[in-house]
Chains A and B, each alone.
Chain A
Amino acid sequence: MNVFAALMEGRLRSRNLIGTLALVLVAAIAMAAVVTGLESRRGSAARLDRAFMDVGAPDLVVGGGPTGVPAGLDAAASAGLVEAESRFDAAFGSFPLGDGTSVGIEVRSIDDPGTVVVGRPLLRGGRWAESSDEIVLDVGVADLVALGDTIGLEIGGDARTATVVGFATDLSACFFPSCTPLRGYTTAAGLTTLAPDGTYMRAHVRLAPDWDREMAAERLRRDGLVDAVATWDEIRADLLLQGRIFSAMLAGFGGFVLVSSLLVVANTATGSVIARRRELGVLRALGATPSHLVSITVLEHVVLGAVGVVVGWVGGSVLAPRLQLGLDQLGTEAPRFDPTVLLVAGGAVLIVVAVATSAPARAAGDVSMAASVSDAPTDRARSSRIAKLPVSPPVQLGFQIAVARPVRAALAATAIAASVAAGVAGWGVHAAVNGVVEDRAATGDPYDAVVAAPTFVESDRLVERLEAVDGVGGWYTDQSRRGELRSGGAIGSSVKVRIVGPVVSDVGLVLVDGAWPTSPGEALVGWGLLGDGGVRIGETVDIELPEGRLTVTVVGRHADLDEGGEVLLIGDETFRSLSDASPRHWRVVSDGTVERVELARRLEDAMAGLAIVQPAADPSAQLRPFRWVLGVLVALVGGVAGANLVATVVAGARERRREIGVVRSLGFGTSELCRLALSSGAALGAVGVVIGLPVGLIAARWIVSSAVDQIGLGPGVVSVPMVVPSLVAGLAGVLAAAALSLLSTRSLRSMSGSVLIREG
């Protein structure tokens, strides 16, 4: 044991600093990736559920007229449905974003937030409004407005002003900008000032213990006294949607990080064995056995990896709360340092380190005493084909060097391949996410603005006004119900039923499989019902709605992100067999001459208070967190792959010191050495690109496929771009490898040839 400890100490003392740092850094990055993945996956839902309980468990969010909502809630209370509730008067208006556009805002009256029992808003900065000219704004606009600013609002067609005294959020819908309208809070007197012409009502309901949220919501809808009911399950799913997509992407990119880490460790370990070949030979000459050398090589890397594991655990634990996408309005949680995660994830990373080190460790054990001590040349692989290439001697020698050590070359090429693959996958995933979010048809919501009218407004009158607006290209109605779906005799499951009209095929949805419904009794479904839901195209299913039972035949699949794609869509004609209730929501599509915000403004003018108008959410704002997270992930993979490449190239350069000195003695000048380094790096880069491109494309497809499955979009909707990312990543891979190779010989080029030859 003393021998072992002495050998180990000697090894650690004699390590090269760059190699040591690369190993620790890579273990830290791998650990941080694993910890971040674990913590963010389990952290988001748990955190949201904690927040839900903290604000008084608002099981349902109800909206409607100032008489309908109280009546509906009273009836529900009589039926024993309500355990507690909070009501707010509210008014709808528009809020200027400062870039010439505006967004819908719902201002609620709260005199004393302490008295709100259910769905209490959370103050995130400043204070609550105390006078009628003060307002607390949604924290989602905190980067646009400062405390103390006087803002202008437009409510009921009139311009109003208020002073911002605080920022807050609540759990009555998903957060701005993913969901609109954004929320504002003022005093009762303030709301009267802002909206003197009347208000509507919001209420948060905590259900009695016996009531299921879906059942209770259906009961309220069936009474017809309230206009809208959203369950916490729906809101929660919306809030966690970004996190679900992120988790799917993290799983894919996490794989890259681990594979890249394995390569880096293998490379640094190999480099370390090469650099200390003579030392290893001397150790054997002094009595160390091959098993001693294998053990200390593995242990040395595991010990250094353990340092990285601890660093990565701390870093990942700090980073994880910031990666709870979609929950940023709840604030950043304090990091949680979970020892179990340290043990489990750290163990996994150290196993990776040990596996990656095993081959170089065996090589260390096999080092020949005589050869290493006498500096005998190594019998390397060489290609006679390269000798015949019509290129200059430095380029030819560079190519020979690139292929001289097949295992090392393969490791370096794989490092480049990992970088290229990460680049292609990152680009592909980003383009695919862009495509989904920006193409509203692919999300199942191909509209630019929505018009919601109370029940007392006649549909014909509203449509007449709507169609007269300049810039309206079309419209469709969209109502939704909860229904119980029975398929193939299975026990029913609760699904969202969309009822669109007047003609389903004209709405602008994307039909992925099958055919459009053309006659009553036909339906489309989202991927969530086809994939995991067990429904097949061509199957006849029963759907139990509040209005009665429908039997429909599924004729196709449409792209729909709502509720993870667990959506059944029927036409107005089919629904009319159950009810003659007219739709209350019109989704309006621009004719292409106006943007969504301007279209909403024109519609609002045209409605003149008859209906609430909201522009569709800004897709670029929805993309912002994805871009950030993708950037982090690609940077992680790129960082690891870059470290790998540098470690490989530096190890190679270290090994080549004497040979560089020799070629200098033969007359290689700076330009020849540069050409040698460039050709050697470019050759490795080209091999890496050839391997990395297909891997990257396959990975991108897999990650995108996994992500679209997670969000319920299913296959066939999103395409992963291939040509441009492949070209760019391929070129970048070759150039980066050549440039790194050139950089790695920079110090050698400036070093005296005498020193290189003498010290090797």
Chain B
Amino acid sequence: MSATRSTTSFSEERDVVPAVEAIDLWRHLGDGGTGTQVLNGLSLTVQAGEWVSIMGPSGCGKTTLIHALGGLEGIDAGSISIGGCDLGDASERERARLRRTEIAYVFQQYNLLSDLTALENVMLPLRLAGRSRRGARREAHVMLQRLGLEKRADAVPARLSGGEQQRVAIARALAIEPVVLLADEPTGALDAAASGHVLDLLRDQHRAGQTIVMVTHDHRVAAAADRIVMMRDGRLVEEHHLRAVHPMDLPGLVRLEAER
């Protein structure tokens, strides 16, 4: 069964349909008794334009959730829709098409393609989305310029610092103007200065209306979101709307959650 969506386009729907809607997700990894139930009936809804941070102890299923939301990881039961498009029953071809046009990832380890330059890395999703070579090059240049990387456009990843690589990864992710940006510990491998720079970038995008779902261990990074959800044993156990929480209370809140 192919991915389903209503007759209106994504852009029209953004205002009325949740950007991400995950309902009752179940996922077991490994064999029988020796495996782990990594998603345990988890449900999560992210409205268009919302920034949600997912936190929780190691092994609670954060990365599995974010991979499942983008169709990189299958689920055993439940349903996921991105901008109204149902991923659960989508064929692999449909999922690939959605990743080309609606979903973008940013990883902790950047995961740039080492054989391509910064510019080519950013061009790649644009070309996959159907842009001409010239058009993709122009858009990729603009994107790198916005992120302050225009002088590093022809450098291969091995010649870029960690912060630069992550900025290129963000440029690559944002180039297709995705419905949702899925970020897995985007600052996890960066120093404080580079983290701050990346976080500023994400804030700018969020202000421009970008929906972001981010996994992080860092409460300062998490605090940039509109909402923080806490995960444990494959479930969402708590959520906090940050407009209602004083930023100074956040570290204690996170620590309390980790101790439960």
Cβ contact within 8 Å between B114 and A669 = no
Instruction: Say which residue of B70, B117, B127 sits within 8 Å of A393 (CB atoms).
Output: B127
Q: Which residues of B contact A659 (CB under 8 A)?
A: 111, 113-114
Q: Which residues of B contact A654 (CB under 8 A)?
A: none
Cβ contact within 8 Å between B115 and A664 = no
CA distance A497 to B132 in the complex (A): 80
CA distance A379 to B67 in the complex (A): 28
Q: Which residues of A contact B124 (CB under 8 A)?
A: 393, 397, 663, 666
Asked if A404 is an interface residue, CB under 8 A from chain B, the answer is yes
CA distance A753 to B111 in the complex (A): 13
Chain A binder among B15-23, B101-109, B227-235: B101-109
Which residue of chain A is the closest to B158 with respect to CB atoms? A379
Asked if B167 is an interface residue, CB under 8 A from chain A, the answer is no
Chain A binder among B81-89, B90-98, B139-147, B213-221: B90-98
Cβ contact within 8 Å between B113 and A663 = yes
Cβ contact within 8 Å between B92 and A666 = no
A contact patch SS: helix
Asked if A752 is an interface residue, CB under 8 A from chain B, the answer is yes
CB-contacts of A511-552 with B (<8 A): none
Cβ contact within 8 Å between B128 and A668 = yes
Q: A377-B112, A757-B107 are in contact. Are A667 and B156 (CB under 8 A)?
A: no
Cβ contact within 8 Å between A672 and B96 = yes
Question: In the complex, what's the smallest C-beta–C-beta distance from A399 to chain B, in angstroms?
Answer: 10
Cβ contact within 8 Å between A667 and B129 = yes
Count, chain B residues at interface, CB 8 A: 41
Q: Which residues of A contact B72 (CB under 8 A)?
A: 661, 664-665, 752-754, 757
Question: In the complex, what's the smallest C-beta–C-beta distance from A361 to chain B, in angstroms?
Answer: 24
Q: A752-B73, A754-B73 are in contact. Are A662 and B96 (CB under 8 A)?
A: no
Instruction: Say which residue of B96, B99, B111 sits within 8 Å of A658 (CB atoms).
Output: B111
Cβ contact within 8 Å between A380 and B158 = yes
CB-contacts of A646-667 with B (<8 A): 658-659, 661-667
Q: Which residues of A contact B105 (CB under 8 A)?
A: 665-666
CA distance A758 to B111 in the complex (A): 11
Cβ contact within 8 Å between A375 and B73 = no
Asked if A159 is an interface residue, CB under 8 A from chain B, the answer is no
A interface, how many residues as a size bin? 35 or more
Q: Which residues of B contact A376 (CB under 8 A)?
A: 158
Query: In this complex, which of B70, B99, B113 has the most chain A Cβ atoms within 10 angstroms of its Cβ?
Result: B113
Q: Which residues of A contact B98 (CB under 8 A)?
A: 667
Instruction: Say which residue of B97, B99, B125, B156 sits within 8 Å of A379 (CB atoms).
Output: B156
Binary interface encoding of chain A residues 377-401 relative to chain B, with 1 for a CB under 8 A from any of its CBs, else 0: 1111010000100101100010011
Asked if B63 is an interface residue, CB under 8 A from chain A, the answer is yes
Cβ contact within 8 Å between B112 and A666 = no
Query: In this complex, which of A380, A382, A667, A669 has the most chain B Cβ atoms within 10 angstroms of its Cβ?
Result: A667
CA distance A681 to B249 in the complex (A): 57
CB-contacts of A607-625 with B (<8 A): none
Cβ contact within 8 Å between A667 and B97 = yes
CB-contacts of A223-261 with B (<8 A): none
Q: Which residues of A contact B112 (CB under 8 A)?
A: 377, 662
Asked if B120 is an interface residue, CB under 8 A from chain A, the answer is yes
CA distance A390 to B72 in the complex (A): 30
Q: Which residues of A contact B156 (CB under 8 A)?
A: 377, 379-380, 382
B contact patch SS: helix
Asked if A67 is an interface residue, CB under 8 A from chain B, the answer is no
Q: Which residues of A contact B116 (CB under 8 A)?
A: 382, 397, 400
Question: In the complex, what's the smallest C-beta–C-beta distance from B106 to chain A, in angstroms?
Answer: 10
CA distance A672 to B165 in the complex (A): 25
Cβ contact within 8 Å between B97 and A752 = no
CA distance A375 to B108 in the complex (A): 12
Q: Which residues of B contact A375 (CB under 8 A)?
A: 109
Cβ contact within 8 Å between A672 and B128 = yes
Asked if B188 is an interface residue, CB under 8 A from chain A, the answer is no
CA distance A104 to B136 in the complex (A): 80
Binary interface encoding of chain A residues 662-694 relative to chain B, with 1 for a CB under 8 A from any of its CBs, else 0: 111111111110000000000000000000000
Question: In the complex, what's the smallest C-beta–C-beta distance from A584 to chain B, in angstroms?
Answer: 78
Which residue of chain B is the closest to A386 with respect to CB atoms? B115
CB-contacts of A339-394 with B (<8 A): 375-380, 382, 387, 390, 392-393
Cβ contact within 8 Å between B92 and A379 = no
CA distance A755 to B113 in the complex (A): 17
Q: Which residues of B contact A670 (CB under 8 A)?
A: 92-93, 96
Question: In the complex, what's the smallest C-beta–C-beta distance from A159 to chain B, in angstroms?
Answer: 75
Question: In the complex, what's the smallest C-beta–C-beta distance from A658 to chain B, in angstroms?
Answer: 7
Which residue of chain B is the closest to A662 with respect to CB atoms? B111
CB-contacts of B196-230 with A (<8 A): none
CA distance A658 to B70 in the complex (A): 17
Asked if B157 is an interface residue, CB under 8 A from chain A, the answer is yes
Cβ contact within 8 Å between B128 and A758 = no
Asked if B64 is an interface residue, CB under 8 A from chain A, the answer is yes
Binary interface encoding of chain A residues 278-303 relative to chain B, with 1 for a CB under 8 A from any of its CBs, else 0: 00000000000000000000000000
Which residue of chain A is the closest to B102 with respect to CB atoms? A667
Cβ contact within 8 Å between A664 and B99 = yes
Cβ contact within 8 Å between B93 and A667 = no
Which residue of chain A is the closest to B189 with respect to CB atoms? A374
Q: Which residues of B contact A755 (CB under 8 A)?
A: 73
Instruction: Say which residue of B127, B129, B158 sits within 8 Å of A378 (CB atoms).
Output: B158
CA distance A669 to B71 in the complex (A): 12
Asked if B138 is an interface residue, CB under 8 A from chain A, the answer is no
Which residue of chain A is the closest to B73 with respect to CB atoms? A754
CB-contacts of A400-448 with B (<8 A): 400-401, 404
Asked if B41 is an interface residue, CB under 8 A from chain A, the answer is no
Asked if B241 is an interface residue, CB under 8 A from chain A, the answer is no
Q: Which residues of B contact A665 (CB under 8 A)?
A: 70, 72, 99, 105, 107, 111
Q: Which residues of A contact B101 (CB under 8 A)?
A: 667
11 contacts between A and B (CB under 8 A): A377-B114, A378-B114, A382-B117, A659-B113, A666-B128, A667-B99, A669-B95, A670-B93, A752-B74, A754-B73, A755-B73
Closest 10 CB pairs of A and B: A667-B100, A669-B96, A379-B158, A753-B72, A754-B73, A754-B67, A377-B114, A667-B99, A377-B157, A400-B115
Besides A377-B165, A393-B124, 20 new A-B residue pairs in contact (Cβ under 8 A), listed by A number: A379-B159, A380-B158, A382-B117, A397-B113, A397-B124, A400-B115, A661-B72, A662-B111, A664-B72, A665-B105, A666-B105, A666-B124, A666-B125, A666-B172, A668-B96, A669-B97, A752-B72, A753-B67, A753-B72, A757-B67
Residues of B in contact with A (beta carbons under 8 Å apart):
63-64, 67-68, 70-74, 92-93, 95-101, 105, 107, 109, 111-117, 120, 124-125, 127-129, 133, 156-159, 165, 172
